[in-house]
């Protein structure tokens, strides 16, 4: 800051000169004292709050008795999981009161390496939403799959010096941390020595193993699904990110553990948020509604959506309405429905009554377009053989990305090949490696998806984003995979040898360059066809469910391009349940 700017700020705060903007007639949510300040105005100069009191301004905005809250901060989100670009996610989220997000670009970096990270940083310049990033810590996510890049400690050093990158993203390789793996230690030290925060990801970890995980400086976790897990981590000084996304719904469960004593260690996050969910429910404004309905006081809820996240991630210039902080302000009609009337970012009005006001500047996507290197794929790779009719199956749990390790009796041909039985809800699932031309195709069996005909193929498959396909017959599965490659990634639905619906995702095969409205409408059509034409169970979200089937860091059993993986045992297992 220049001296003249500092002097202007002080002179404005002292009342010697008028402010640039004064928001008057508002009820200010004081997240420091957990109270409401009435009868005072907010003075803003050069995008900074300079005072709360009686001020004159060159521009005056009448809040008409509305509540003024600090801008909302999402503590952990993957932009790529919305299927839209950073510029577009800003357009969608800001009208809901979100002014900052902490984004982990784990998905695109696993496909494109630092080309993906650089694209996300550049694209973030095209939105008023302040997007801060966590550098992906696990690229590849695990040694049990093939990804499109390798990001080791040496390659992390320079990016971690960037002020826009706050730290190291969710450390999913918790076995590597607990086991003090040498390469993992190098990554951790790179962040520690730069004074950067490290995000956690430790589902089901407990006891001394959890102690070992936290002892290295990991300070957050967004994977808690039970009150017990949450309290266990809170007692170890871990910030808990209470998640409510499109795929995972943990907020209501975890709110049962929030008390006046521990609420300041709790943040709100979405992890993933598809456009359809945003249009239907909103973003953190929806989280706040849930909090209040579950008995959390409105101001405590707003703390979890603002101040707590700012403190956790070292964003000292925001998180409250106070002199010296960024003028990130949300005007709310009430503290029950949290209807957002206006949004200001650095003092600029950026949204009003649900509409994003600034122009959007979109970045070039050519450096991250496509990224498919599939070799030696054929329908023959989809033949699943077993030495026994008693086999392992991946059991879906509706509404959860966690799966159960099940067993079943199946029919086999004389050659020992799996035969689908229409009266049994067990179908073939395949993961086709798409980055390194290995020719790998991992095969398994999925129960509970409900598909009755045809096939589905996606190139959104966490975390390495290989191709995942599910179907009732090899012909439709092969056609879905081949057409997916031709269109450069996305989603394909096939029935009786015909493509019945598709959505192209040209950015790394995981993101669209179209609007959120287009993505939402297209996904709605795909869901409709998935349910009505393919017969997928109405209890299952047909796209997001498949996205998480290769996620070999989430219990209990998953499938990678290398085979069927038992997460608890951290080992590959055969299809046979002998």
pLDDT of residue 461: 94
pLDDT of residue 1: 84
Residue 348 CA to residue 364 CA, distance in Å, equals: 26
Indicate the pLDDT class of residue 229, thresholds 50, 70 and 90. Answer: very high
pLDDT in tens, 142-162: 889 999 999 999 999 999 999
Full set of structural domains in the chain with CATH: 69-367 (3.20.20.140), 379-572 (no CATH)
Q: Which tokens go with 14?
A: 């002292």
Asked if residues 556 and 438 have their Cβ atoms less than 8 Å apart, the reply is no
**553, pLDDT greater than 90:** no
Residue 481 CA to residue 458 CA, distance in Å, equals: 8
**402, pLDDT greater than 90:** no
Output the 3-class SS for 277-340. Answer: HHHHHCCHHHHHHHHHHCCCCHHHHHHHCCHHHHHHCCCCCCCCCCCCCECCEEEECCCCCCCE
Asked if residues 529 and 500 have their Cβ atoms less than 8 Å apart, the reply is yes
**286, pLDDT greater than 90:** yes
pLDDT of residue 247: 77
Average pLDDT, the chain: 96
Indicate the pLDDT class of residue 400, thresholds 50, 70 and 90. Answer: confident
Q: Which tokens go with 369?
A: 């377009």
Asked if residues 148 and 569 have their Cβ atoms less than 8 Å apart, the reply is no
**36, pLDDT greater than 90:** yes
Listed in sequence order, the DSSP H helices in 447-494 are 474-486
Average pLDDT over residues 549-572: 93
Average pLDDT over residues 410-431: 96
Residue 506 CA to residue 492 CA, distance in Å, equals: 14
Task: Tell which residue, 238, 284, 271, 227, has the closest CA to residue 551.
Answer: 271
**399, pLDDT greater than 80:** no
Asked if residues 467 and 461 have their Cβ atoms less than 8 Å apart, the reply is yes
The model's pTM? 0.93
The SS3 assignment for 55 reads coil
In the DSSP assignment, the letter for residue 423 is T
**89, pLDDT greater than 90:** yes
pLDDT in tens, 337-348: 999 999 999 999
Residue 462 to residues 13, 108, 172, 373, 487, Cα–Cα distance (Å)? 49, 10, 12, 18, 20
Average pLDDT over residues 489-496: 97
Indicate the pLDDT class of residue 62, thresholds 50, 70 and 90. Answer: very high
Task: Identify the residue whose tokens are 């394909």.
Answer: 492
Residue 69 CA to residue 32 CA, distance in Å, equals: 12
pLDDT of residue 425: 95
Task: Identify the residue whose tokens are 């800001």.
Answer: 94
Average pLDDT over residues 102-123: 96
Task: Identify the residue whose tokens are 């949300």.
Answer: 330
- HSE on the CB side for 445, CA within 13 Å? 31
């Amino acid at each position: 800051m220049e001296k003249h700017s500092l002097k202007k700020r002080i002179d404005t705060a002292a009342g010697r000169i008028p402010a640039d903007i004064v928001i008057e007639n508002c009820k200010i949510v004081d997240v420091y004292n957990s109270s409401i300040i009435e009868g005072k105005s907010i003075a803003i100069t050069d995008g900074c709050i300079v005072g709360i009191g009686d001020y004159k301004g060159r521009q005056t905005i009448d809040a008409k008795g509305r509540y003024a809250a600090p801008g909302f901060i999402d503590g952990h989100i993957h932009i790529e999981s919305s299927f839209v670009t950073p510029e577009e996610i800003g357009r969608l989220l800001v009208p809901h009161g979100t002014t900052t997000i902490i984004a982990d670009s784990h998905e695109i970096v696993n496909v494109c390496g630092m080309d993906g990270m650089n694209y996300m940083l550049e694209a973030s310049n095209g939105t008023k939403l302040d997007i801060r990033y966590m550098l992906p810590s696990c690229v590849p996510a695990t040694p049990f799959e093939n990804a499109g890049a390798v990001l080791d400690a040496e390659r992390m050093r320079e990016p971690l010096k960037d002020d826009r990158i706050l730290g190291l993203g969710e450390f999913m390789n918790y076995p590597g941390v607990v086991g003090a793996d040498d390469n993992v230690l190098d990554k951790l030290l790179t962040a520690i020595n730069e004074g950067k925060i490290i995000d956690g990801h430790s589902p089901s970890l407990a006891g001394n193993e959890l102690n070992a995980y936290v002892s290295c400086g990991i300070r957050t976790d967004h994977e808690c699904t039970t009150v017990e897990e949450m309290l266990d981590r809170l007692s170890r000084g871990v910030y808990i990110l209470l998640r409510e996304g499109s795929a995972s719904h943990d907020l209501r469960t975890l709110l049962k553990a929030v008390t006046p004593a521990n609420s300041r260690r709790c943040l709100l996050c979405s992890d993933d948020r598809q456009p359809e969910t945003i249009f239907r429910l909103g973003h953190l404004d929806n989280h706040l509604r849930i909090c209040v309905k579950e008995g959390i006081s409105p101001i405590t809820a707003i703390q979890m959506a603002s101040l707590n996240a700012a403190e956790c991630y070292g964003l000292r210039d925001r998180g409250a309405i106070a002199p010296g902080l960024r003028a990130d302000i949300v005007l709310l009609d009430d503290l029950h429905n949290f209807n957002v009337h206006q949004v200001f970012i650095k003092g600029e009005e950026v949204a009003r009554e649900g509409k994003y006001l600034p122009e959007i500047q979109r970045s070039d996507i050519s450096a991250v377009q496509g990224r498919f290197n599939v070799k030696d794929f054929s329908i023959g790779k989809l033949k699943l053989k077993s030495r026994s009719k008693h086999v392992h199956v991946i059991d879906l749990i509706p509404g959860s990305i966690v799966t159960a390790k099940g067993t079943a009796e199946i029919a086999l041909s004389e050659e020992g090949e799996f035969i689908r039985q229409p009266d049994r809800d067990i179908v073939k699932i395949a993961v086709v490696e798409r980055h390194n031309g290995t020719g790998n195709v991992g095969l398994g069996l999925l129960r509970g998806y409900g598909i009755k005909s045809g096939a589905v193929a996606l190139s959104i498959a966490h975390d390495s984003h290989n191709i995942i396909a599910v179907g009732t017959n090899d012909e439709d599965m092969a056609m879905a995979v081949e057409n997916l490659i031709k269109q450069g990634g996305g989603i394909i639905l096939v029935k009786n040898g015909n493509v019945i619906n598709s959505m192209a995702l040209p950015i790394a095969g995981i993101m669209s360059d179209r609007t959120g409205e287009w993505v939402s409408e297209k996904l709605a059509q795909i869901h409709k066809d998935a349910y009505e034409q393919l017969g997928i169970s109405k209890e299952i979200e047909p796209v997001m469910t498949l996205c998480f089937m290769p996620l070999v860091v989430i219990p209990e059993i998953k499938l990678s391009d290398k085979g069927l993986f038992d997460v608890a045992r951290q080992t590959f297992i055969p299809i046979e349940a002998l």
